[in-house]
């Protein structure tokens, strides 16, 4: 019983004390929270009402600034990603895809400007299927 009470107190402490400190630190700092989804499509030659025409992408993406690799980020199976970055201008490219030419099935190298706070970017990958 004492063990359960101790665990409950630790969770309560972390929720009441640590969580707000993290939130204040993040909101008052100059950090950008970048998040969004990556989808690909079309996934079928003819889109139909009862079947989705796009699908989430599970892949790794490279975040570059002035051609220097800053970080990498991977999407989950729903195509969602999130990463912390300093405000500035970045290029996002898909790992294993060409950076200098357009290739169907790959994310086109895309410029993104990150501001302090919350930033949402959604990316669409053209499969070339027509």
Q: What is the pLDDT of residues 19-68, one digit of tens each?
A: 554 454 555 569 999 999 999 999 988 888 888 899 999 999 999 999 99
Global pTM value? 0.71
Q: What is the pLDDT of residues 44-55, one digit of tens each?
A: 888 888 888 999
Q: What are phi and psi of 124, to 5 degrees?
A: -120, 130
With tokens 């895309």, the residue in question is: 110
Supply the CATH number for residue 40's domain.
Answer: 2.60.40.1120
Same domain, 77 and 26: no
Number of domains observed in the structure of the chain: 2
Q: What are phi and psi of 101, to 5 degrees?
A: -140, 160
**What residues does 69 pair with on adjacent strands?**
64
Helix and strand element counts for the chain (H, E): 2, 9
Query: Which structural domain, as residue segments, surrounds residue 5?
Result: 1-30
Contacts of 7 (CB under 8 A, 6+ apart): none
Given a contact cutoff of 8 angstroms between Cβ atoms, the answer to whether 91 and 109 are in contact is yes
pLDDT reported for residue 9:
44
């Amino acid at each position: 019983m004492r063990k359960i009470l101790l665990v409950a107190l630790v969770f309560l402490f972390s929720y009441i004390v640590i969580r707000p400190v993290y939130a204040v630190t993040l909101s008052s700092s100059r950090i950008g929270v970048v998040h969004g989804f990556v989808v690909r499509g079309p996934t079928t030659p003819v889109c139909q009402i009862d079947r989705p025409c796009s699908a989430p992408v599970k892949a790794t993406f490279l975040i570059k600034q002035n051609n220097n690799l800053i970080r990498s980020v991977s999407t989950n199976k729903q195509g969602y990603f999130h990463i912390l970055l300093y405000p500035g201008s970045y290029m996002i490219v898909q790992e294993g895809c060409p950076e200098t030419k357009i290739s169907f099935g790959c994310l086109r190298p895309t410029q993104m400007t990150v501001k302090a706070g919350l930033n949402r970017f959604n990316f669409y990958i053209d499969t070339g299927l027509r």
